[in-house]
Structure 1
Amino acid sequence: MKETTSREAANHYLNRDLSWAEFNWRVMEEAQDPTTPLLERVKFLSIVSSNLDEFMSVRVAGIKDQIKAGYTKKDFTGYTPAGLFKRIMKRSSKMVSEQYRTYREILRLLGKEGIYIADYEDLTVTQRKAMDEYYHEIVFPVLTPMAVDQARPFPLVRTQAVYLAVVLMKEGDDPEDEPYFAILQVPSNLMRFIEVPARANSKKHEFILIEELIEQHIHTLFSGYTAVSVQAFRLTRNADLTLNEEGAEDLLEEIENQLRRRRWGDPVRLEVQKGMHPYALKQLTEEFEITDNVFEIDGPIDLTYLMKLTGSLKGYDHLRYKPIESVYPAELDDIEDLFAKLRQRDVLVYHPYESFDAVTDFICQAAYDPQVLAIKMTLYRVSGNSPLIQALARAAESGKQVTVVVELKARFDEERNIAWARMLEQSGCHVVYGLIGLKTHAKITLVVRQEQDGLHRYVHVGTGNYNDNTAKLYTDVGLFTSHKVIGEDASALFNEVTGYSAPHNWKAFGVAPTDMMDKLFEKIRREAKHAAEGKPARIIAKFNSLSNQQMVDELYQASQAGVKIDLIVRGVCCLRPGVPGLSEHITVRSIVDRFLEHSRIFYFENEGEPEVYIASADWMTRNLTRRVELMCPVFDKDIQQSLINILQLNLRDNVKARQLQPNGLYERVTAGDDEPLRSQFEAMRISSWKTTAHEG
Structure 2
Amino acid sequence: MLRQTRISSYIFNSPFISRDLSWIKFNERVFDQARHPGRNIFEKLKFLAITSSNQDEFFMIRVGSLYNYIDYGRERVDYSGLREIPFKRKLFADSQAFHAEQHEHFLKNLMPEFKENGFRIVKLDELEDYELKQVKRYFKKTIFPMITPMVYDSYHTFPILMNKLLIYGVITHNPSDKKEQRKLSFIQIPQNLPRFYEIERENELLFVPIENIICRFIAKFFRNVEILAVNLFRIIRNGDFTLEESEDIDNNFLEEIKQKLKTRKTGRVVRIEVEEGYDSWMMRLLKKRWTIDNDNVFEVSKQSLMDFTGLWQIIKHKEFADAVPTGHPPVPPLTYTQADRAENIFEVLKQKDILLHHPYNSIDPLLTLLEQSAEDPDVLAIKITIYRLADDSRIITALLKAAENGKHVSVLFELKARFDEENNMREAKRLQQAGCFVIYGISSFKTHTKLMLIVRKEGSKVRRYVHMSSGNYNEKTARLYTDVSLLTSHDKYANDVSEFFNVITGHSNPETYRYLITAPRDMRQQLIELIRQEAENARQGLPSAISIKINSLEDRETIQELYAASEAGVPVKLVVRGICCLRPGRAGLSENITVKSIVGDYLEHARLYYFHNGGEPLLYAGSADIMVRSFDRRLESLFQVLDPMVLKECLLILDYNLRDNTNSYILQEDGNYIKVQPAEGEEPFNVHQEFFRITNDDLENIHLFEEQLMEEEDEAAVEEEAQEVSSKTK
| TM-score normalised by structure 2 residue count | 0.91
Asked if 2 retains the 8 angstrom alpha-carbon contact of 1:130 and 1:197, the reply is no
Letter in 1 for 2:125: E
Could you tell me how far apart the structure 2 residues matched to 1:131 and 1:170 are?
29
Counterpart of 2:691 (choices 680, 683, 694) is: 683
Question: Match of 2:210?
Answer: 210
Counterpart of 2:541 (choices 526, 534, 540) is: 534
Could you tell me how far apart the structure 2 residues matched to 1:685 and 1:194 are?
43
- The 5 Å alignment of 1:453-472 reads 453-472=460-479
- Range moving further from structure 2, 599-608 or 291-300: 291-300
Counterpart of 1:146 (choices 150, 153, 167) is: 150
Question: Match of 2:228?
Answer: 228
- Range moving further from structure 2, 62-71 or 536-545: 62-71
Asked if 2 retains the 8 angstrom alpha-carbon contact of 1:682 and 1:688, the reply is no
Task: Give unmatched runs, 5+ long, in structure 2.
Answer: 1-9, 707-730
Say yes or no: does 1:307 pair with 2:312.
yes
Asked if 2 retains the 8 angstrom alpha-carbon contact of 1:71 and 1:81, the reply is no
Letter in 1 for 2:146: V
Question: Match of 2:724?
Answer: none
Q: What is the CA deviation profile of residues 118-151 of structure 1, one whole-angstrom value per residue up to 9, with x for unaligned ones?
A: 1011111111111111111111111111111111
Asked if 2 retains the 8 angstrom alpha-carbon contact of 1:57 and 1:237, the reply is yes
CA drift of 1:35 comes to: 1.8
Gap change, CA 1:86 and 1:689, over 3 Å in 2: farther
Question: Match of 1:274?
Answer: 276
Counterpart of 1:412 (choices 395, 401, 419) is: 419
Asked if 2 retains the 8 angstrom alpha-carbon contact of 1:353 and 1:686, the reply is no
Q: What is the CA deviation profile of residues 157-205 of structure 1, one whole-angstrom value per residue up to 9, with x for unaligned ones?
A: 111122111122335777x53332210110101111121132xxx3111
Say yes or no: does 1:169 pair with 2:177.
no
Could you tell me how far apart the structure 2 residues matched to 1:643 and 1:46 are?
33
Say yes or no: does 1:109 pair with 2:113.
yes
Look up the SS of the partner of 1:382 in the other structure.
Answer: coil
Look up the SS of the partner of 1:650 in the other structure.
Answer: helix
Q: What is the CA deviation profile of residues 564-613 of structure 1, one whole-angstrom value per residue up to 9, with x for unaligned ones?
A: 11000000001011112211111000011011100001111111111111
CA drift of 1:271 comes to: 1.5
Counterpart of 1:21 (choices 8, 19, 24) is: 24
Say yes or no: does 1:324 pair with 2:328.
yes
Q: What is the CA deviation profile of residues 227-275 of structure 1, one whole-angstrom value per residue up to 9, with x for unaligned ones?
A: 3322211111111232224165332221012111221112211221111
Asked if 2 retains the 8 angstrom alpha-carbon contact of 1:273 and 1:300, the reply is no
Say yes or no: does 1:640 pair with 2:643.
no
Percent identity between matched residues is 38
Asked if 1 retains the 8 angstrom alpha-carbon contact of 2:384 and 2:411, the reply is yes
Asked if 2 retains the 8 angstrom alpha-carbon contact of 1:245 and 1:251, the reply is no
Letter in 2 for 1:225: V
Counterpart of 1:603 (choices 604, 610, 615) is: 610
Could you tell me how far apart the structure 1 residues matched to 2:560 and 2:461 are?
48
Could you tell me how far apart the structure 2 residues matched to 1:677 and 1:471 are?
23
Could you tell me how far apart the structure 2 residues matched to 1:155 and 1:13 are?
43
Counterpart of 1:621 (choices 596, 619, 628) is: 628
Look up the SS of the partner of 2:278 in the other structure.
Answer: coil
Letter in 2 for 1:50: S
Counterpart of 1:189 (choices 178, 181, 192) is: 192
Asked if 1 retains the 8 angstrom alpha-carbon contact of 2:174 and 2:225, the reply is yes
Could you tell me how far apart the structure 1 residues matched to 2:326 and 2:421 are?
33
Letter in 2 for 1:189: N
Question: Match of 1:255?
Answer: 257
Q: What is the CA deviation profile of residues 25-72 of structure 1, one whole-angstrom value per residue up to 9, with x for unaligned ones?
A: 111111112222221110110111111111111111111221233344
CA drift of 1:10 comes to: 6.1
Q: What is the CA deviation profile of residues 409-429 of structure 1, one whole-angstrom value per residue up to 9, with x for unaligned ones?
A: 111110010001100001111
- The 5 Å alignment of 1:16-415 reads 16-72=19-75, 74-104=77-107, 105-170=109-174, 177-198=180-201, 202-241=202-241, 242-246=244-248, 248-291=250-293, 292-298=295-301, 299-315=304-320, 317=322, 319-329=323-333, 331=336, 333=338, 334-415=341-422
Could you tell me how far apart the structure 2 residues matched to 1:124 and 1:49 are?
32
Question: Match of 1:564?
Answer: 571
RMSD: 1.9
Asked if 1 retains the 8 angstrom alpha-carbon contact of 2:69 and 2:76, the reply is no
Could you tell me how far apart the structure 1 residues matched to 2:173 and 2:633 are?
55
CA drift of 1:685 comes to: 2.2
CA drift of 1:309 comes to: 2.2
Question: Match of 1:4?
Answer: none
- Range moving further from structure 2, 8-17 or 366-375: 8-17
Could you tell me how far apart the structure 2 residues matched to 1:63 and 1:688 are?
49
Look up the SS of the partner of 1:314 in the other structure.
Answer: helix
Asked if 1 retains the 8 angstrom alpha-carbon contact of 2:247 and 2:443, the reply is yes
Could you tell me how far apart the structure 1 residues matched to 2:18 and 2:254 are?
35
Counterpart of 2:580 (choices 573, 584, 606) is: 573
Gap change, CA 1:152 and 1:429, over 3 Å in 2: same
Asked if 1 retains the 8 angstrom alpha-carbon contact of 2:403 and 2:436, the reply is yes
Could you tell me how far apart the structure 2 residues matched to 1:378 and 1:34 are?
41
Q: What is the CA deviation profile of residues 611-630 of structure 1, one whole-angstrom value per residue up to 9, with x for unaligned ones?
A: 11111000011001110000
CA drift of 1:328 comes to: 4.5
- Range moving further from structure 2, 213-222 or 399-408: 213-222
Could you tell me how far apart the structure 1 residues matched to 2:482 and 2:237 are?
31
Letter in 2 for 1:423: R
Task: Give unmatched runs, 5+ long, in structure 1.
Answer: 1-6
Asked if 1 retains the 8 angstrom alpha-carbon contact of 2:357 and 2:482, the reply is yes
Asked if 2 retains the 8 angstrom alpha-carbon contact of 1:272 and 1:297, the reply is yes
Letter in 1 for 2:259: N
CA drift of 1:75 comes to: 3.6
- Range moving further from structure 2, 72-81 or 514-523: 72-81
Q: What is the CA deviation profile of residues 281-301 of structure 1, one whole-angstrom value per residue up to 9, with x for unaligned ones?
A: 223222222224111122322
Could you tell me how far apart the structure 2 residues matched to 1:584 and 1:401 are?
54
- Range moving further from structure 2, 71-80 or 481-490: 71-80
Asked if 2 retains the 8 angstrom alpha-carbon contact of 1:10 and 1:78, the reply is no
Counterpart of 1:446 (choices 447, 453, 478) is: 453
CA drift of 1:9 comes to: 11
Could you tell me how far apart the structure 2 residues matched to 1:204 and 1:688 are?
49
Gap change, CA 1:14 and 1:689, over 3 Å in 2: farther
Asked if 1 retains the 8 angstrom alpha-carbon contact of 2:315 and 2:324, the reply is no
Q: What is the CA deviation profile of residues 378-407 of structure 1, one whole-angstrom value per residue up to 9, with x for unaligned ones?
A: 000101210100110110111101000000
Could you tell me how far apart the structure 2 residues matched to 1:528 and 1:407 are?
38
CA drift of 1:638 comes to: 1.0
- Aligned residue pairs, count: 686
Could you tell me how far apart the structure 1 residues matched to 2:697 and 2:488 are?
20
Asked if 2 retains the 8 angstrom alpha-carbon contact of 1:218 and 1:227, the reply is no
Letter in 2 for 1:272: V
Asked if 2 retains the 8 angstrom alpha-carbon contact of 1:328 and 1:357, the reply is no
Counterpart of 1:488 (choices 470, 482, 495) is: 495
Could you tell me how far apart the structure 2 residues matched to 1:383 and 1:25 are?
28
Could you tell me how far apart the structure 1 residues matched to 2:541 and 2:114 are?
58
Could you tell me how far apart the structure 2 residues matched to 1:9 and 1:195 are?
49
